[in-house]
Amino acid sequence: MVYRELSQLVALLLLSLLVASCSLVATAPYDAGTDKNLTKLHKQTAQFFVAAANPIDCDYRHYFDFYQTSSVALSGLLVRAKALPRNGVTVEQLLLLQSSFESLAKLHRLGCLSPVQVADVWRSFDTSFSAILRLELAKKG
């Protein structure tokens, strides 16, 4: 009788632990598509900054293709991220990155980017890309 009660108690304890451990899994699983597309967008962005640092033509219109391509790429990344369950943090990060791309386009439309501006903004974009990739890769573990 005592053993039966004890085993029921242990079973209840194990069930509680199982429920508690499940509640720790609060993010989406790793997504290879997000990883690949974000890495590709990062490469395009780095190419843009290299060109903007040593411009043949610094005018916004000369870089119109880059702004259009990155906007389409981000839209694709966001649609994919939103489709995954429990992926709110990545979605929020991508929305902030989208806002940064819009601010970069706005800044560029207002005038040519100075070398200091290019260096500052490039560093900020690298920080954003690294943070989003860091989170995505952490989902693997």
Partner 1 sequence: MANKDMQTEVLAIMARHLAQSAIERPIDPEILSQAQTTINQALALQQQMLAGDLSSQQFQAHQGILLNALRVRLLSQGGVGRLWAQTLVNELADLLLK
List of residues contacting partner 1 (CB under 8 A): 89, 92-93, 96-97, 99-100, 103-104, 106-107, 110-111, 117, 120-121, 123-125, 127-128, 131-132, 134-135, 138
Q: Is the dihedral of CA 53, 56, 58, 62 positive or negative?
A: negative
What radius of gyration, in Å, describes the C-alpha atoms of the chain?
23
Q: Which is nearer to partner 1, 13 or 137 (CB)?
A: 137
| Phi-psi label, residue 111: left if phi above 0, alpha if psi -120 to 50, beta otherwise | left
CB of 103 to partner 1, least distance (A): 4
Q: CA-CA distance, 76 to 106, in Å (whole number)?
A: 21
Residue type for 110, please? L
Q: Is the dihedral of CA 47, 49, 50, 56 positive or negative?
A: positive
Q: Which is nearer to partner 1, 34 or 93 (CB)?
A: 93
CB of 14 to partner 1, least distance (A): 26
CB of 100 to partner 1, least distance (A): 5
CB of 64 to partner 1, least distance (A): 17
